[in-house]
Structure 1
Amino acid sequence: MKKVTAILIGAGLRGGYVYSQYALDHPDEFQVVAVAEPDKERREIFAAKHHIPEKLCFKNYEELLAKEKMADCAMVCTQDQMHYEPVVMAMEKGYHVLCEKPMSPDKKEIIKMGEMAKKYNRILSVCHVLRYSPFFSKLKELLEEGRIGRLMTIQHMEEVGYWHHAHSFVRGNWRNAEESSPMILQKCCHDMDIMLWLADSKCESISSFGELSYFKEENSPEGAPAYCLDGCSHRDECAFYAPRFYLEHPKAVDDGLVYAVTDPADPEHVLEALKKGPYGRCVFHCDNTVVDHQSVDIHFENQVTATFLMTAFTNQCARRIRLMGTKGEIKGDMDTGVIEIIDFVSQNHETIQLHTPAKGHNGSDMSMMRDFVRMIGEGKKGKTDASVSVESHLMALAAEEARVKGQVIDFGEFCKWN
């Protein structure tokens, strides 16, 4: 396989630390040769790590994409509402593209991106990393083997985790739907994609309910200040006390969430950043607008029905699923890697224990990167393409419209826009 080269647009947590790590782990396969990142410190740290010369470091994607094509692909890892223009410009320039999810919060932009990938014959791979996990890959294999007969019902739950929700969706970059995108799109387009993949059919109709119920001003403890470090008297009884989370919680420290607060992430810098920075705010005094719990019901054209539940109010950040068929059922826990298959006739209970790495969506991030690199380097077909990603994104937007309007949405009609 030839070595694949890339440019990176957006060196934040996902682009700068997760997907680009594949280049450091597999330097013979993949190399990042240029970066566009507006934050000077972040840009310089990334450039030093990947040995990128200053002349190939840019403040924005416009400067980078104005240059002659210098790599095989572009990784677009900007914020939700900033994907469309660099993706389109990169494809026009001749780059294949890896695009962080969601593609866009705008229905027309999502459809156009899919159309342009086809027009220019480019790989447009959206980061639906769950398809690459050992867990969901095994579930797909079991369904294709007919282990539970004809699939009839899917029950799927995403446990966001109280700490993850507070970090990303109350204090963080994805807190405000108007500035980023609705929760069901930004966080759960993964899950729409998985249900679409497992059902193996097009969506016919969709409904949804959900609210922002807890993380708002009216639920603030008496006297709670705007920032945790402004002498909050509730610090010992509050699960969301920022200094404790960012200095002690293993998900913040070991999984690198603390780098969203400040880089470098030593205690002195973290505490200083929390004094007046966004991640130091009281969770009841933020400008968040996304829901903290939501359910979605889906009817597919092949008569499979699916129910999805997203909730912030869990201890773990996990996904659990049940697949119910005519001959048996499957129960699965992605976090533990345990799958149980029950046969209705024999009443046999088979348990499968998968190896699931603790980090990177249980190993999915690096599996996706490997697949993307080999699609380019070897011309292999990947697990998903732009047209499928377009459909699952539109399912998420249809679910949000159903929630807001209190209606059942005809998916075929929803997808019409011109």
Structure 2
Amino acid sequence: MTSPVRVIVVGAGCRGDIYSMFASIHPERMKVVGVADPRKFARTKLQQRHKIVDENVFNDWKSIVAREKFADAVLICTPDRLHKEPAVAFAKKGYHVLLEKPMATNVEDCTEIVKACTQSGVILSVAHVLRYDPVIHMIKELIDAGVIGDVIHIQHFEPVGFYHFAHSFVRGNWRNEAESSFALLAKSCHDIDLIHHWAGARRCVKVSSFGSVSHFQKEHKPTGAADRCMNCSIEKDCAYSACKIYLDRVKQGQTGWPVSVICQSSLPDIETVTEALKTGPYGRCVYECDNDVCTNQVVNMEFEGGLTAAFSMVAFTEEICQRKTTIYGSKGELSYNGHEVSVFDFLTQRSTKHTAHNKAPKGFGLSGHGGADYYLLDAFISAVANNDPAMIRSGPRETLLSHLLVFEAERSRLESRVVYCGESSQSFT
């Protein structure tokens, strides 16, 4: 394409807002020509930023599908349980699809999305943004280059962050499985996808998982605590106080995430945040919420050839989403500390540090993603412009297989048994 790739943003919340910023940085490559969101403030914000004509602003994505195709691609950033229907509809309409992770909340919907995109001949990119982190991408390149020999074991850890978990998974949109999805899918399908990616062509043959809801329960509510932080007499002694997480940040002039999430109809300031904490879900006591998703979970996997992998997710950490990885090979050991990669060679007994140049604009995307949001959009827009699906690092087939592994792991946790994957993962290809 010589002209910019025209995109429609479906879901103008945090992710849609971030992804659309690529058009502001590279107007010659991407142009936002439409937006759909039931919230007037959210869709108006994007309309004004990208100068979208009124006729292309919608409160429902179905109105877009009903029209003649007027863009090249769609960025689907709706809530988890609302991914399948628009993804299938836009694919059948001929739009290339960037779909926020997780792909969908059950195997059947994931399979239907892949089928629709494949049969329609459109590009599907699922937003496993960590695949696009320059340093994490280097891990795969080093494995493929054979610097640590045969991969024997993968140890991967995700520290969610104590206030991040309280924000998103106790008070927020992903707190309740019936309304969103289970934590391993919502938060850590990134991580299972990375392990699956690092394992290469080897299929996972069996998986086990354990996890539970810890601490954020009514029986742990401190004596004298109120149901809301704004009128709680012991709020100052609580690490999870909504006043600390949101109001104190606004007072310091910090209005980005997570503060930006809690005000649905205006920009955050002292007044709007105070009102949101008085009346909205983010002002609730963390011990009085309807959360039911795991705060801590482990997943153990065995792949063909004897490769084993262990993943841990923990809510109660200082660091936020700064993954830690160690990969043990027959010739060396690779470690990633959230910032750089180090390789220890068994033969020379020397360590070599590896860093990657990050060209992502400062402030683009979410913290903990290492600029990966920018590179995700860069790859997707390039793939559409060149009609080259090979530019996508998390395409339909591999993403479907890694999602299936997540569902199998959760089945293991719920059924308290080892799940033998057998040939089931091949039936979705």
Q: TM-score, normalised by structure 1?
A: 0.95
- Aligned partners of 2:195 and 2:309 also within 8 Å: yes
One-letter amino acid of the counterpart of residue 57, structure 2: C
2:38 equivalent to 1:60:
no
SS at match of 1:105: coil
One-letter amino acid of the counterpart of residue 175, structure 2: R
2:328 equivalent to 1:331:
no
2:324 equivalent to 1:314:
no
- Aligned partners of 1:252 and 1:258 also within 8 Å: no
Aligned to 2:401: 391
Which stretches in structure 1 are left out of the alignment for 5+ residues?
A: none
Provide the aligned length of Structure 1 versus Structure 2: 413
Distance in 1, Cα, partners of 2:334 & 2:256:
30
One-letter amino acid of the counterpart of residue 213, structure 2: L
Distance in 2, Cα, partners of 1:354 & 1:70:
38
Aligned to 1:206: 207
Give me the identity figure in percent.
Answer: 39
Distance in 2, Cα, partners of 1:324 & 1:133:
21
User: What pairs with 1:9-158 in structure 2 (closer than 5 Å)?
Assistant: 9-16=10-17, 18-158=18-158
Aligned to 2:381: 373
One-letter amino acid of the counterpart of residue 364, structure 1: A
Of 257, 268, 284, the match for 2:271: 268
Distance in 2, Cα, partners of 1:149 & 1:308:
21
Distance in 2, Cα, partners of 1:56 & 1:115:
28
The alpha-carbon deviation at position 339 of structure 1 amounts to 1.6
Of 351, 354, 362, the match for 1:352: 354
SS at match of 2:155: strand
SS at match of 1:117: helix
The alpha-carbon deviation at position 205 of structure 1 amounts to 1.1
SS at match of 2:370: helix
SS at match of 1:296: strand
Distance in 1, Cα, partners of 2:164 & 2:257:
12
- Cα 1:237–1:252, aligned 2, differ >3 Å: closer, same or farther? farther
- Cα 1:198–1:389, aligned 2, differ >3 Å: closer, same or farther? same
Distance in 2, Cα, partners of 1:20 & 1:219:
41
Which stretches in structure 2 are left out of the alignment for 5+ residues?
A: none
The alpha-carbon deviation at position 38 of structure 1 amounts to 0.1
Distance in 2, Cα, partners of 1:133 & 1:126:
15
Aligned to 1:178: 178
Aligned to 1:221: 222
Residue deviations 1:342-377, cap 9 Å, x none? 111221122234456675310100101000000000
Distance in 2, Cα, partners of 1:142 & 1:100:
28
- Aligned partners of 1:73 and 1:96 also within 8 Å: yes
Cα-Cα RMSD: 1.7
Distance in 2, Cα, partners of 1:252 & 1:227:
23
Distance in 2, Cα, partners of 1:411 & 1:33:
43
Distance in 2, Cα, partners of 1:205 & 1:71:
43
The alpha-carbon deviation at position 282 of structure 1 amounts to 0.8
Distance in 2, Cα, partners of 1:298 & 1:305:
6
- Aligned partners of 1:246 and 1:252 also within 8 Å: no
- Aligned partners of 1:195 and 1:306 also within 8 Å: yes
Aligned to 1:245: 245
- Aligned partners of 2:152 and 2:306 also within 8 Å: yes
SS at match of 1:204: strand
- Cα 1:353–1:92, aligned 2, differ >3 Å: closer, same or farther? closer
One-letter amino acid of the counterpart of residue 401, structure 1: R
Q: TM-score, normalised by structure 2?
A: 0.93
The alpha-carbon deviation at position 136 of structure 1 amounts to 1.1
